[in-house]
Amino acid sequence: MRILSVVGARPQFVKLAPIARAMAGRADHLIAHTGQHYDHNMSDAFFADLGIPHPDFNLGVGSGKHGAQTGAMLTGLEEIIEDTRPDWVLVYGDTNSTLAAAVAAVKLHVRVAHLEAGLRSFNRRMPEEHNRVLTDHAADLLLAPTQVAMDHLATEGLAERSVLVGDVMTDVLFKTRDEVAGTPLALAAAVEPGGYYVATIHRPDNTDDPDRLRAILDGLAKVAKPVVLLAHPRLRALADKHGIELAAGSVVVSDPVGYPQLVNAVAHAAGVITDSGGLQKEAFLLRVPCTTLRPETEWVETVDLGWNVLVTDDFPALPGIVERPRPAATDAAPYGTGTAAEAVVETLLSRLPR
């Protein structure tokens, strides 16, 4: 059986790692990279650090407005799918690369499986929310990470196409956590274990409005311990454009780091402050308190279990929220035990094409 994985952005490389490993020797697994993320530390570093095979195709699409970016991917992916005729196209998460691959494949009558199906923020301002909903409704097989995701799919009439496989990011997180255990803290900033916070900000809703971005940074600047801000290129570009200085008060700016360094940095942090989906969950899995700069989250279990607090816009209150006491310990495992990639491959192999 031939399976074509399509990826393009940083979180998709992380999800691809355990899948590529589980596919080895069991399927003819091809990888197409759209080129949505292209900086070395946003792309190639992940393939090298996580031992992911070199992509078979790279469209080199790069940055652009949603229409131009997604359109260029659609054009390139159509050719790749026509040439390779896979039994499945496997798409990951919620980026423009996900949507482009799903649309290209279904129009060619090639079956599409969506990994991380059924997540919903119910926030229609997020491009990712449209990408998720449209991909789920186009796909033939919906591989859901959680029971909550399964419930969303059922509500939308998609129960028959849905399978609960668990969360593949948990697979890679646990493996990497064990690999980096005992290695020294590898951050460029001069900080001590337990004596700093890790922060990331990249969502358009937080970066594109200069007043909101300034308010977030003002709040972070007043946190009592250093806040190591791993600056996504989107954040740097928009801060430059609006004349906003990222490094002020407690904020120490760093380039994005590779996945093992990130896991190591979060594991030793006093807390995480982020608007990333994946990082909220990684913090929970490492039992590090998280403060999420968004009105809602797709990973509601992290909030329900007390490890994640959402901050919609009361940014002056950030220091008190970030420095809150640790929540009660829990051994809940809503994201599975680290074997989701196996379940994904089994499901794909057992469902032969029509």
Are 98 and 92 a contacting pair, CB within 8 Å? Answer: yes
Establish if 33 lies at the interface with ligand UD1 (CB under 6 A). no
> Of 20 and 279, which has the nearer Cβ to ligand UD1?
279
Among the listed residues 2, 28, 39, 79, the single contact to ligand UD1 using CB under 6 A = 39
By CB under 6 A, the count of residues binding ligand UD1 is 19
Name the segment binding ligand UD1 (CB under 6 A); options: 135-143, 227-235, 287-295, 335-343: 227-235
Whole-angstrom distance, CA of residue 107 vs CA of residue 59? 19
Least distance between ligand UD1 and beta carbon 39 (Å): 3
> Of 41 and 347, which has the nearer Cβ to ligand UD1?
41
Establish if 95 lies at the interface with ligand UD1 (CB under 6 A). yes
Whole-angstrom distance, CA of residue 349 vs CA of residue 354? 13
Which residues neighbour 133 within 8 Å (Cβ) at sequence distance 6 or greater? 120, 156
Name the segment binding ligand UD1 (CB under 6 A); options: 19-27, 30-38, 165-173, 300-308: 30-38
Which positions from 180 to 199 touch ligand UD1 by CB under 6 A, shown as an x/- string? --------------------
DSSP secondary structure, 250-298, as one string: TEEEE----HHHHHHHHHT-SEEEE--HHHHHHHHHTT--EEE-SS--S
Whole-angstrom distance, CA of residue 276 vs CA of residue 317? 20
Are 141 and 114 a contacting pair, CB within 8 Å? Answer: yes
Which positions from 113 to 142 touch ligand UD1 by CB under 6 A, shown as an x/- string? --------------xx--------------
> Of 96 and 292, which has the nearer Cβ to ligand UD1?
96
Both tokens of residue 25?
A: 């020797």
Question: Is 152 annotated as catalytic?
Answer: no
Name the segment binding ligand UD1 (CB under 6 A); options: 32-40, 240-248, 263-271, 336-344: 32-40
Establish if 15 lies at the interface with ligand UD1 (CB under 6 A). no
Residues 197-226 within binding reach of ligand UD1 (CB under 6 A): 202
Least distance between ligand UD1 and beta carbon 190 (Å): 26
Whole-angstrom distance, CA of residue 296 vs CA of residue 125? 12
Among the listed residues 11, 145, 226, 334, the single contact to ligand UD1 using CB under 6 A = 11
Whole-angstrom distance, CA of residue 112 vs CA of residue 142? 9
Establish if 34 lies at the interface with ligand UD1 (CB under 6 A). no
44: three-class secondary structure by DSSP: helix
Residues 47-86 within binding reach of ligand UD1 (CB under 6 A): 63
CB burial readout 142-158, b (16+ within 10 A) else e: bbbbbebbbebbeeeeb
Whole-angstrom distance, CA of residue 303 vs CA of residue 284? 9
Q: Starting from the edge strand earliest in sequence, which strands make up the sheet with 28-33, in order?
A: 57-58, 28-33, 2-7, 88-92, 111-115, 141-144, 162-164
Establish if 108 lies at the interface with ligand UD1 (CB under 6 A). no
Both tokens of residue 66?
A: 């949603």
162: three-class secondary structure by DSSP: strand
Considering 29, 37, 114, 202, which one is annotated as catalytic?
202
Name the segment binding ligand UD1 (CB under 6 A); options: 23-31, 141-149, 232-240, 290-298: 232-240
What residues line the site for ligand UD1 (CB under 6 A)?
9-11, 36-39, 42, 63, 94-96, 127-128, 202, 232-234, 237
* Active-site annotation, residues: 202
